[in-house]
Amino acid sequence: MRIFIFHLLTPILGLSLLLGGAKNLIAAGEVEVLHWWTSGGEATALRVIKDNLQKKGVSWVDMPIAGGAGVNAMTVLRARVSSGKPPTAVQLLGFDITSWAEEDVLADLNDLAKQENWNKVIPQPLQDFAIYKGKWVSVPINVHSTNWVWANKAIFDKLNLAVPTNWNEFKLAVEKIKKAGIIPIAHGGQPWQDATIFDSLVMVAGGADFYKKAFLDLDAKALGSKTMEKAFSYLRFIRANLDPNFSGRDWNLASSMVIEGKAAMQIMGDWAKGEFVKADQVAGKDFICFRFPGTQGNVTFNADQFAMFKLGKSQKVNQDKLALVIADKDTQARFNQIKGSVPARIDISDAGFDACGKKGIKDLRESAANGTMMGSMAHGYAAPPAVKNAVFDVVTKFFNDEKVTPAKAAKMLAVAVAIAQ
């Protein structure tokens, strides 16, 4: 009942309830896990972890915090830790892992990592965040990539549209869809969703090297450049081809618009596939997946990882069991088949994955080998939270204010990032 009520309350009331009702002690054989997997597809995938953990004699006590990209969850987590009631484990992304590791509150997973050879099966870009000062502090369950487009195949077939491979082809496809009286792009007007699209547009505008300079190196010249202006001009085109009711829409509702044929495409990370799967949609038959036109060969990633808080020896046994389940081959294969992502381990076969999953695994391995697997700015793997939030502010302001020109937006971006560092 407590969890049910929590979902119905506002974030502020929900936070008060959570802090007021949080357990002082987790019972033996339990782990309390804070996460933001609350959509239908996500909840279904999560069941794989829960069931495999139960087989180890440990019960998962759910602490779901609604809100894409974990923004609300991080607010709740900070409050929990500040009140002296940290959860057993928490879902974290990128620089958030680093931030908590710097506070020396995360459990040491080195013995498990050595035992299971994580350093040999997990790509280096993920290890860069999972390891802090030589110590494993988190374990990744998956790799999501953000530069995907999800399309309704029936609409593409009806309009005789081929999968676009570059920006000009994408524009032509959007214009043809709009002319047919169909919403070209389903989108939810939330800062993290706006920024997710912008990730791909920065890469389209300048390529992988430019993306790295701007978002990983935070090069001031790149951030304020003509190339960045081009990325903002592309974003304005996207904004002009949404339905008027996009503001505040959750990402999974935008996915439903594509599933139901109300819109032709959604630009979203591959967690969207979980919604298609839950709706009994089949890749290649009911929906199409393709890299955002102009980004093929590159992967901007977002990997869900789980970190354990230091809670003493009594909880360490259960935490270790949870970490082992998360890293387990069977768990990662079945979880990601449902979730839409691909395994964090590169030693897992693509058998059992659909066409989009097979492509995702292939793309990930190639990009990891070629050095074009790069962290998503929108999802906390390119830059620290302060910088990410500064980018969110500029991108969302531009997205919703037509008076801000692409040139002005690029200058604002360079200044905002400089201040945030």
Cβ atoms of 271 and 42 within 8 Å: the answer is yes
In the prediction, which pLDDT does 16 show? 42
Count of other CB atoms within 10 angstroms of residue 4: 7
Phi, psi at 269, each rounded to 5°: -60, 165
Query: Whole-angstrom Cα distance, residue 144 to residue 146?
Result: 6
Q: Where in the chain is the domain with CATH 3.40.190.10?
A: 2-140+305-340, 145-300+377-420
| Secondary structure letter of residue 190 according to DSSP | -
Contacts of 367 (CB under 8 A, 6+ apart): 297, 298, 299, 373
Closest by alpha carbon to 25, among 316, 306, 317, 311? 311
d(CA 320, CA 107): 10
Class of domain 145-300+377-420: alpha beta
What angle do the packed helices 226-239 and 191-211 form, to 10 degrees?
A: 140
* Residues whose CB is less than 8 angstroms from the CB of residue 179 and which lie 6 or more positions away in sequence, other chains included: none
Q: Which two tokens stand for residue 13?
A: 């009331």
Q: List per-residue pLDDT tens for the chain, 421 residues long.
A: 333 333 334 343 344 434 444 444 567 799 999 999 998 889 999 999 999 999 999 999 999 999 877 889 999 999 999 999 999 999 999 999 999 999 999 999 999 999 999 999 999 999 999 999 999 999 999 999 999 999 999 999 999 999 999 999 999 999 999 999 999 999 999 999 999 999 999 999 999 999 999 999 999 999 999 999 999 999 999 999 999 999 999 999 999 999 999 999 999 999 999 899 999 999 999 999 999 999 999 999 999 999 999 998 889 999 999 999 999 999 999 999 999 999 999 999 999 999 999 999 999 999 999 999 999 999 999 999 999 999 999 999 999 999 999 999 999 999 999 999 9
Coil vs helix vs strand at 76:
helix
CB 68 within 8 A of CB 191: no
What is the DSSP annotation of 161-189?
PPPP-SHHHHHHHHHHHHHTTSEEEE--B
The whole-model pTM stands at 0.86
Question: Dihedral through CA 256, CA 260, CA 264, CA 265, nearest 10?
Answer: 20
2-140+305-340 falls under which CATH superfamily? Periplasmic binding protein-like II (3.40.190.10)
First to last CA, the chain: 43
The predicted pLDDT at position 71 comes to 84
